[in-house]
Structure 1
Amino acid sequence: MNEVQFEQLFGYQSDQAIVSHTDRGKISFVQFKYELAFVANELKKTIVKTGVTKVALFCEDSYEFSLLFFAALSCTQSVVIPANNKRFTQQSFGKETLLLGDWANKSAFSVDIPGEYEEDILPPDYFTAEIQLFTSGTSGEPQIIVKTLQQLLNEIITHDKKWPSRIANITILATVSHQHIYGLLFKLLWPVVSGWPFVSKTYVDIVGLLKDASKWSPSVWIASPAQLSRRISSWPWELGKSLTRIFSSGGPLQESDAKAIYDLCGVEPIEVYGSTETGGIAWRNQLRGKQWNPLEGVKVTEARGGLLQVFSPWLPRGFICQDRVKIYEDGSFDLQGRADRIVKLEEKRISLTQIESLLMKDSYIVTAHALTVERKRKAIAIVATLTESGNKILENKGKSFLVRQLRESLSRDLDGVALPRFWRFVNEIPTNTQGKITRDLLMQLFDVMPAAMAPQIISSEFIDSNGKVEFTVNSDLPCLTGHFDASPVVPGVVQLDWAMHFGRPLLKAGSAFSHMEVIKFKQLMMPGDSVILALEFNQEKNRLTYSFRSVNDSGIEYSSGRLCFGHV
């Protein structure tokens, strides 16, 4: 039976204990119980009225999420927790699923909590619904994974036993979302089971997190490797000394990043290895050892093909992962790369993991991620960050020289078809809100404008945050049709598309278009015009400034403006 009692779930010792720090102020346990009772009562009425048995929950605020989550667990059969609330995600659920929280749909369920308490409304006695989570989509399409609340609690109890000495009466702050299993476990369930307050927002501003960590000291930071790697030494890291722990999950943390975080705030990051399918498997502290150590109650073995097999108290049966493994006598283990990242090109099986490993042994590369893209034919593409020496080569000798050097190095170990054809060098690898590197985000870096829509390129040059593209407006561009019959011109919206397209190599990884500023169209751009597109990217403000000027007459400016970006 999957029933979890109210008393099993919530560990707050008094009604005055703080559950969450929210935009509405501090939420006490007695207030939380009332609000949960009200939401559960209203949701139950809607469930009875609509007859649905499944809900899909997306909510940016962790406290508001918690009310809807626990209410739904008490009165539905299935609670689906998607990674996002995009239109395609919403449409995939169908009409039989009730939407809860933040959706672009007027029929989505939400309630306004009244200010007056009604003592006869009581919170649910037990929670029984199944929980449907989604894999991160790092190596393919996201898959649905079904969990029970009891499975998640079993893992939480293990974590609570593992790190009890310095984690008492603390506040949980997170830069990861509760919409993924790691955030759900560490940001929400662990604090409510242990009776700790959690901050309802998901931080995007590390400076703000450090200030709040000091304000609500002692505190714990729930982070991801990508977030820990994006650090600026001038941030007030001395405030981070109020942190008792920093946890990281979602991918391997670079040892250099672990050491840098320790040097800045005196906290050794703890990495947790696991997946949506398995939950937590192991942990490590790279400053004390590189091997992974299984969590208490977890047994790891080597299955056929050298794959990691996991048995744990929060799994109904053993699970074979797609990670290759080397297990040591003391039970610790090393990961040897993914086995499921095999692609077939021209009848040859190619390991993307092998390509990445070879590149990261090169003195020019820090991190590398391989994927396949399809243009006229399928080929290997690489997104990579560069070492200092790699950046110097890029700046002084150009991208073509650097790529040629890397391909020559790879050719010693790889067949020609396995050599990457497409390359993107970025300051940061793009990640989603869970700190995951997904194929969808990497593919955005390889957006290619259809040939029919592109002008005739004469030359292009990109150095650091500046770019320059020289082209001729050819007369067969389809965008010229209708603008105007007697005198065709390049529409303003097409010029914006060109600025976005050619400026993409300068952008921060994972940048998402936000809005435009100071857009000006000054001169008609016509077939036969020779044009220079000048680009300049402001890293600090995440702004791309562009200007189209005539090659023949530097006094003519066709258009200019600024494209503004946020982060995916």
Structure 2
Amino acid sequence: MREWRGVSGTMAALAGLPAPARARPVAGAGAAGWDADTFLARARAWRQAFAARPGTRWALYLDGHAEFAAALFGAWHAGKHVVLPGDALPATVAALRGGAGAVDGLAGELPGGLLPAPAGLPEAAGSGEAAAWPPLDARHCGLTLFTSGSSGVPQAVPKQLRQLEAEVAALEAAFGAALPDGAQVLCTVAPQHIYGLLFCVLWPLAAGRPMPLARLAFHEELVAQAAALDGPALLVSSPAHLRRLPEELDWAPARRALRAVFSSGGPLPAQAASDALRHLGQAPIEVFGSSETGGIAWRQQARQQERWSPLPGVDWCLRDGLLAVRSDHLPDAGWHVCADLAQPAADGGFVLAGRADRIAKIEEKRVSLSAVERALAATPLVQEARVTLLELAVGTRLAAVVVPAAAGQAVLAAQGRAGLAAALREALADTVDTLALPRRWRFPAALPCNAQGKTSDAMLRALFRRVLPEVRWLDGDGDGDGATATAELYIDGELAVFDGHFPRAPIVPGVAQVEWVMQLAPQRLPVPPRTAFQRLDVLKFQAVIVPGSTVALALTWQAERATLAFRLSSAAGTHASGRIVFGATHD
């Protein structure tokens, strides 16, 4: 029978374990795993490092879950408030260092971050070790998380430890009885966000399950780790990973090891849920919530379809069609009104009906972006779809990023992008107002996503800000003097090169055409780096290139002369030609 440790008393509970129990893994498995003494030694080193530094607000970023957990508890027991940035990008670090929410120091893998002294061999916990780790004050200890930024700029969300403890207790009450004792946690998500923090760090530690040492970036790693396990496991993942399970992998080891699969960060497409059940042997348990509200509800599509069941201790109601929740996961006892539209369902559950905050005005008409996404997803041509807003010359309009299903791929192969876009517009015509029909389209193999498996509006808009045209390489001889390559370029009207050039009669600037040649040629020919560029010879621009054109690119590399000849042409004739001459490489 598992002993429930809770979160605030985790370190004292670990230090107080009898010797045989301390030898069981706290993180990972096998020779590489951490037992209780190893974990306590790392946490002790982090506590000493934090205690030696002034200031109370410290930003922490570590990708490995076990080291992250040791640093987190070390900071808490040193009296620090921990701030968890979602990434370590320069802009994020700059925001941590300045502004109203500035931190007093950086730790872990942040630039110049605090690190503890290298730890030697762990020492066995002595009789006074538990007293050295008194329970944390759950109302005064805490951390600050950030929202994912999927609908805007990430927002800081402070959390008291008592809120996190309430969430962990709710997860154990909902799912703990179905999980075998000692089940190893495998994960594909980072600990910097609420989902990974709860499911991969705090819940395993509180329930006595081995947490992961680090996240698994590739599906092959998941299969290999499952095959290496001697006992059961559970997988903590996201729609970004579960919707891309490769058919060619041998998933038998995962089916043998896994006793549960969790998913959060966004709704799991029905096909992805079905594929996960087939490959992994478990129907994914989806958990719905947010950084602000904590966990709200869960479902298994194989049993509940679209109906969500509230987690233990979560009350809900509808206010003007919006979901409102109340629980100990929130900072106070009041009702929190979400931006999610919902409808009541059987057995005390509810069905989500999109986001109320995804309403846009297009020429004074209110348009639901969620409704357009649902209409796209309902067509057999679409596997997944997201829409965003773009400012075009005619005003604000919708743009769609669509991952084609098999039927959509067939249309794309036979009729091209324009044919698939036309088919989708026709499919939407009966349910979507003409003004709300997307004006721009992208058809990637998968939606872009961040470390949380979420797709932000910024990521979607970035797909419509490309500099290079779409390229389809045809043939060529890339070896020796006189090496050649040819390609077909589709000149999308949304390319950034058309900005301001010219608003009423857009054309591709000549400098952009040369830049395309410079960037594309190295993909097929052994040309020198651009630092060796010397001059342009016999450069001619003979006809303009307009949006929607398909242009042929012909390249010839003359190694003896260090010259790249190029020609851009179409049915309208030659658009541009010339030679790029290279000299010695400048380091």
Q: TM-score, structure 2 length as denominator?
A: 0.77
Could you say which residue in structure 1 is the equivalent of 2:302? 287
Matched, 1:430 2:414: no
Could you say which residue in structure 2 is the equivalent of 1:357? 374
Could you say which residue in structure 1 is the equivalent of 2:93? 90
* Structure 1 segments (4+ residues) deviating >6 Å: 118-121, 463-467, 489-493, 521-524, 555-560
Deviations 1:311-347 (CA, angstroms, capped at 9, x unpaired) = 2232223211111111124201111111000122333
Q: Secondary structure at the match of 1:57?
A: strand
Could you say which residue in structure 2 is the equivalent of 1:234? 248
Could you say which residue in structure 2 is the equivalent of 1:72? 75
Could you say which residue in structure 2 is the equivalent of 1:252? 267
Change (3 A) 1:393 1:525: farther
Distance (Å, rounded) in 1 between the aligned partners of 2:525 and 2:65: 33
Q: Which amino acid aligns with 1:435?
A: G
Q: Which amino acid aligns with 1:149?
A: L
CA shift, 1:422, in A, is 1.1
Answer yes or no: is the 8 Å Cα contact 1:342–1:351 preserved in 2: yes
Q: Which amino acid aligns with 1:352?
A: L
CA shift, 1:307, in A, is 0.6
Could you say which residue in structure 1 is the equivalent of 2:348? 331
Q: Secondary structure at the match of 2:348?
A: coil
Change (3 A) 1:91 1:493: farther
Q: Secondary structure at the match of 1:412?
A: coil
CA shift, 1:130, in A, is 2.1
Distance (Å, rounded) in 1 between the aligned partners of 2:525 and 2:44: 47
CA shift, 1:45, in A, is 1.0
Answer yes or no: is the 8 Å Cα contact 2:48–2:78 preserved in 1: no
Q: Which of residues 228, 232, 238 is equivalent to 1:224? A: 238
Provide the alpha-carbon RMSD of the alignment: 3.7
Answer yes or no: is the 8 Å Cα contact 1:55–1:76 preserved in 2: no
Q: Which amino acid aligns with 2:404?
A: L
Deviations 1:485-516 (CA, angstroms, capped at 9, x unpaired) = xxxx979993477549xx9xxxxxxxxxxxx9
Q: Which of residues 443, 453, 458 is equivalent to 2:461? A: 443
Range with bigger deviation, 335-344 or 213-222: 213-222
Could you say which residue in structure 2 is the equivalent of 1:126? 135
CA shift, 1:559, in A, is 10
Could you say which residue in structure 2 is the equivalent of 1:564? none
Distance (Å, rounded) in 1 between the aligned partners of 2:118 and 2:35: 15
Q: Which amino acid aligns with 1:357?
A: R
Could you say which residue in structure 1 is the equivalent of 2:293? 278
Matched, 1:140 2:152: yes
Matched, 1:367 2:371: no
Could you say which residue in structure 2 is the equivalent of 1:113? 118
CA shift, 1:440, in A, is 2.2
Q: Which of residues 489, 513, 516 is equivalent to 1:469? A: 489
Answer yes or no: is the 8 Å Cα contact 2:7–2:205 preserved in 1: no
Distance (Å, rounded) in 2 between the aligned partners of 1:339 and 1:169: 42
Matched, 1:196 2:196: no
Answer yes or no: is the 8 Å Cα contact 2:283–2:300 preserved in 1: yes
Range with bigger deviation, 372-381 or 432-441: 372-381
Distance (Å, rounded) in 2 between the aligned partners of 1:356 and 1:467: 34
Answer yes or no: is the 8 Å Cα contact 1:244–1:267 preserved in 2: yes
Change (3 A) 1:30 1:392: same
Q: Which of residues 16, 20, 24 is equivalent to 1:17? A: 24
Q: Which amino acid aligns with 2:191?
A: H
Q: TM-score, structure 1 length as denominator?
A: 0.79
Could you say which residue in structure 1 is the equivalent of 2:9? 5
Q: Secondary structure at the match of 2:274?
A: helix
Structure 1 portions without partners, runs of 5+: 478-488, 504-515, 536-546, 561-568
Matched, 1:267 2:282: yes
Q: Which amino acid aligns with 2:464?
A: F
Could you say which residue in structure 1 is the equivalent of 2:494? none
Answer yes or no: is the 8 Å Cα contact 1:12–1:195 preserved in 2: no
Q: Which amino acid aligns with 1:191?
A: P
Distance (Å, rounded) in 2 between the aligned partners of 1:464 and 1:190: 54
Aligned length: 504
Answer yes or no: is the 8 Å Cα contact 1:529–1:550 preserved in 2: no
Deviations 1:68-112 (CA, angstroms, capped at 9, x unpaired) = 2112222345211111011111111226431111112x3x21123
